[in-house]
Chain A
């Protein structure tokens, strides 16, 4: 009995309203995120059966390859869309055709196969984000595999009908088709694989949202603690009854927070500059130059632009924390106050890590854009991929949001709210005498 009483007491302590609230919140969040990821997976699955191809060779053999692409097996059907290119400017062509990738079977493809030589196809894809799931062009990648497989089958039956394969022929059968990859970033095109690009930028694309998330949480927690401690210790009462302007009190707090935010942003930028955890390792000078030409390098401008959004995000989270801290009734409640902030941070954090938010369906996209932190989680994408309008809109939104938050914070600190906020929360309405307990 004693043990059960102890157990009940421990459970009551540990499974408090705060924990249950967090669990429910996480459930909703995971459900929402799961839904978004599932939709992206469904989209990828649909895309895998949609192949866009430009047959510049247009021979009987390539026509048969295209037919094979349509029905590779008896139970598999792909939607093959044939396109004609109007120019060699692949970026423009992608834009004109409103697609993300396509495969070109160049002129002379059949001749090379007939001559027993390795043939080449061109794979053009557009990179618009560094998020994990946005760099998958399933349709085109399936097409490349199927073309190689079709050529392999045709070549194999042709060569084996002539007798035993030579070493050269065996090697050719292993890889009859080579892929000439072009990756488009904005209006720039380079002869580089998207996979290599993604691998080289992988660490930064992962580190970026993680660092922002940690900075927001650490900054917010210290601000909530600072404000609530000052309120609960009554040092705030002492300070606000002194002959100094309340605006000075709050602006000093905000300025100090801004300095800390700036320091955080600088430290983070230095850290990011030195971080190179690319699974591709050292990708070599040639590729590095291509990446540079595509504009996917963190130069001074990129650091500056990302840094500005980082600082705005920190200031927003700090001013929200300042507001929330005013509602603290005790140390425990000050920790609970952090939960809503955690929630609105973790959703865009996870979304931006996996998805290209700018391509999500309208309602979900705007809901995410409404969270000011989303724009900083997206900062490396918007800056690196030249999404200037999105970056600017995000920056303006963050600035407006900051002004609103600061206005509310100033209003709270210059009114009775700083002392009365939170006092009526959770109070039962059963008093006989209205003047009691003041």
Chain B
């Protein structure tokens, strides 16, 4: 990986305080480079989703900033939204719509003209591989089919950075492998990814770098192999356990 590549996302001292003294995310700083797959890992309630939501301009930060493709989430949220797409964990789609209708609807949100809409829909059809089922209502889809449709929607417009919260949850092994392969290919083409996952094997396979987050703090950032080595661990799962437990013992 060429570390001199420009950053697509720069997160600078990002904090979110819900009420006095209650921080969901505190002083989080990291960056994601062009074509890089960066993963945020952490236990439930660690602050991953809050951090991601702030980057996706859904929540306003209390302190700090994030720059996405040169646009600040504070001063130019509309610009940020043009540069990223976001797939929330356990997200659904409009059940009354047919698969193809949903893709067209979402394409219209991102495209600048009709040709681009058609282009995005075609790309999404190729990604989700749902075939004729795209003409069925989404309410008839299985969880896996819905996830594939949503993933296709997220990456069809080839944003500068795609934020995927648990990208393969609900997918069977074959489909999950396919999606992981696709993410790798798109990253090789220059698209950046910010992932959040509990699946350490997936993270180890996919990520160029990982950030371990617990109780709102980013504890460690590094390449999976480097982290495993520096912690004298067997794998990333062990690193994660050691890092999170260490902070627990020291009274976080």
Contacts and interface: CB of A to CB of B under 8 A. Distances in A.
Interface in B83-113: 84-94, 106, 109-110
A245 B24 CA distance: 26
A242 interface: yes
Contacts of A237: 53, 56, 58, 86, 88, 91
Given A435-B22, A435-B47, A438-B18, A241 B91 contact: no
B58 A240 contact: yes
A5 interface: no
Nearest to B16: A438
Nearest to A230: B94
A436 B47 CA distance: 8
Given A241-B85, A420-B18, A437 B45 contact: yes
A244 B109 contact: yes
B25 interface: yes
A438 B45 contact: yes
**Main SS of chain B's interface residues?**
mixed
A325 to B, nearest CB: 16
Interface residues of A, number: 23
B95 to A, nearest CB: 8
A98 interface: no
Interface size class of B (residues with CB under 8 A): 35 or more
Interface in B174-221: 215-217
Contacts of A415: 60
A436 B150 CA distance: 29
A243 B60 contact: no
Contacts of A420: 18, 59
Contacts of B7: none
Contacts of B19: 424
A77 B151 CA distance: 85
B26 A435 contact: yes
A162 interface: no
A397 interface: no
A238 B88 contact: yes
Given A243-B109, A420-B18, A238 B86 contact: yes
A85 to B, nearest CB: 68
Given A234-B88, A237-B86, A420-B18, A436 B215 contact: yes
B166 to A, nearest CB: 12
A234 B78 CA distance: 20
Contacts of A243: 78, 81-82, 109-110
A147 B25 CA distance: 86
B131 interface: no
A239 interface: yes
Interface in B1-31: 16, 18-19, 21-26
Given A424-B18, A438-B216, A416 B60 contact: yes
Contacts of B217: 435
A415 B57 CA distance: 10
Contacts of B87: 238
Given A238-B86, A239-B109, A244-B109, A433 B215 contact: yes
A233 B138 CA distance: 13
A241 B92 contact: no
B230 to A, nearest CB: 25
Contact of B91 (A238, A245, A438): A238
B53 to A, nearest CB: 7
Contacts of A424: 18-19
B97 to A, nearest CB: 10
Nearest to A433: B215
Contacts of B82: 243
A419 B54 CA distance: 11
Given A243-B109, A416-B60, A433-B215, A438 B86 contact: no
A434 interface: yes
B45 A241 contact: no
Contacts of A434: 21-23
A301 B18 CA distance: 52
B90 to A, nearest CB: 7
A435 B88 contact: no
Nearest to A248: B109
Contact of B24 (A234, A235, A244, A438): A438
9 contacts: A233-B91, A234-B88, A238-B106, A241-B58, A243-B82, A435-B22, A435-B217, A438-B23, A438-B24
Given A433-B215, A435-B26, 6 more contacts: A233-B93, A238-B86, A241-B56, A243-B82, A419-B59, A438-B16
Sorted from nearest, which 6 A-B pairs have the closest CB atoms? Answer: A438-B24, A233-B92, A435-B216, A234-B91, A437-B45, A242-B109
